Amino acid sequence: MTATDRPGPPLWLLAELTYRCPLHCAFCYNPVDFARTSADDELDTEAWLRVLNEARVLGSVQCGFSGGEPLVRDDLEVLVAEAHRLGYYTNLLTSGVGLTEDRAEALKRAGLDHIQLSFQDTTKELNDFLSHTRTFDLKQKVAHTIKANGWPMVMNCVIHRLNIDHIGQIIEMAVALGAEYLELANNQYYSWALLNRDQLLPSREQLERAERITNEYRAKLGDKLRIFFVVPDYYETRPKKCMNGWGNVFLTVTPDGTALPCHTAKMLPGLSFPNVRETSVGEIWYDSEGFNRYRGDGWMSDTCKTCPDKEKDLGGCRCQAFMLAGDAAAPDPVCDKSPAHQVVLDAVARAQRPGAVSTAPLVFRDPKASRQIAP
């Protein structure tokens, strides 16, 4: 990258307030070593307020509060109120656990614009199995609380082999709950989902059926429910433009204050990322080695550098390149030009076998499993 390529501001700030979470989803995108960050390591209210201010001065306009479960922080209302005062569009990404009527009213008063509520499935059995909690009934109640407070209802459901055949019922449930938006987020295989990939990757037939049913509902429902269908990139031949480009618009601040261009970048070896406790958000965004490393195309291999699609996908995802090809600067193995593409083809081939659901038990995201995997 040259001096004239100075990036624009971090338009999207993701505040990962905590890794604490009452749920234990087998596809969670939090890092598998999340248990290394305890509640004592989390940024305090004052530090988060400073981050919100610094990022807004820089030009951030959207602020997502996520986790873990952000509602376990009892200062959430204070942070939302400050973000609102600063002029952010604010979004809460939640499992619903902890969103009591009192807290919903307080968040409404604080100016929260948007809530995204996650479900794991339409059946109580599978919802509760996948999250390893009894939360299905509570989520239904929370959906009503969200509507009662006048927020648009945005429902999110991570889609994978175990629930993809329920796609019609998932859409019906979104309609019944009065959702305005439904995100059918096909699982991307990072962190806990990567550990469970053979159990979670759907077959091509399942995927095609789900897309067809989704399109039928889109035609039937029109504007009543806007449905986003995120395709799993393993079934593509060109990679996704991950985070819309490294250090381009997204800035994630993890619970302990580490600033990252995406929520899993900390796993990349040989890269250091600053902490908002010691470094200003502006310095992090424009000057840090970690944020500059994969900007532009200077880092790219010849495969990516000479590819006519490089502006469209900027070489795909650095984390996926590291996880699947062992080199963060390699082309994303999802790309059929990648020398490591066979890894993706093999995973996809395994998913096509009839009745191929792996019998290996799912690894659920919990602190004990995290400590065993990453002591």
Tell me which residues touch ligand FES (CB under 6 A): 242-243, 262, 264-265, 317-319
Distance CA(129)–CA(78), nearest Å, equals 34
Radius of gyration of the chain (CA): 20
Nearest approach in angstroms of CB 262 to ligand FES is 3
Residue 24's nearest CA partner among 129, 118, 122, 115 is: 129
Measured from the CB atom, the residue of 96 and 239 that comes closer to ligand FES is 239
Residue 297's nearest CA partner among 283, 281, 311, 277 is: 311
Q: What angle do CA 213, 141, 211 make, to 5 degrees?
A: 10
Nearest approach in angstroms of CB 328 to ligand FES is 8
Measured from the CB atom, the residue of 88 and 322 that comes closer to ligand FES is 322
Written in H, E and C, the secondary structure of 289-345 is HHHHCCCCCCCCCHHHHCCCCHHHHCCCCHHHHHHHHCCCCCCCCCCCCCCCHHHHH
Measured from the CB atom, the residue of 80 and 259 that comes closer to ligand FES is 259
Does the annotation flag 21 for ligand binding? yes
Our measurement of the distance from residue 304's CA atom to the centroid of its chain's CA atoms, rounded to an integer in Å, reads 25
What is the number of other CB atoms lying within 10 angstroms of the CB of residue 286? 16
Measured from the CB atom, the residue of 79 and 344 that comes closer to ligand FES is 344
Does the annotation flag 28 for ligand binding? yes
Buried residues in 315-328 as b, exposed as e (16+ CB within 10 A)? bbbbbbbbbbbeeb
Measured from the CB atom, the residue of 28 and 182 that comes closer to ligand FES is 28
Measured from the CB atom, the residue of 88 and 189 that comes closer to ligand FES is 189
Distance CA(253)–CA(94), nearest Å, equals 17
Nearest approach in angstroms of CB 243 to ligand FES is 6
Measured from the CB atom, the residue of 110 and 319 that comes closer to ligand FES is 319
Measured from the CB atom, the residue of 97 and 265 that comes closer to ligand FES is 265
HSE at residue 48, side-chain half, CA atoms within 13 A, is 29
Nearest approach in angstroms of CB 242 to ligand FES is 3
Nearest approach in angstroms of CB 264 to ligand FES is 5
Nearest approach in angstroms of CB 299 to ligand FES is 12
**Contacts with 145 (C-beta within 8 Å, 6 or more apart), sequence order:** 99, 100, 101, 104
Nearest approach in angstroms of CB 238 to ligand FES is 15
Task: List the 89-94 sheet strands across, edge first.
Answer: 226-230, 181-186, 153-159, 114-119, 89-94, 62-66, 12-16, 250-253, 259-260
Residue 318's nearest CA partner among 304, 305, 307, 328 is: 328
Nearest approach in angstroms of CB 190 to ligand FES is 6
The first and second tokens of residue 282, run together, are: 């502006």
Residue 350: what residue type? R
Does the annotation flag 317 for ligand binding? no
Measured from the CB atom, the residue of 233 and 256 that comes closer to ligand FES is 233
Residue 134: what residue type? R
Which residues sit opposite 185 in a β-bridge?
A: 158, 230
Nearest approach in angstroms of CB 319 to ligand FES is 3
Which residues define the annotated binding site for [4Fe-4S] cluster?
A: 21, 25, 28
Show binding-site residues.
21, 25, 28
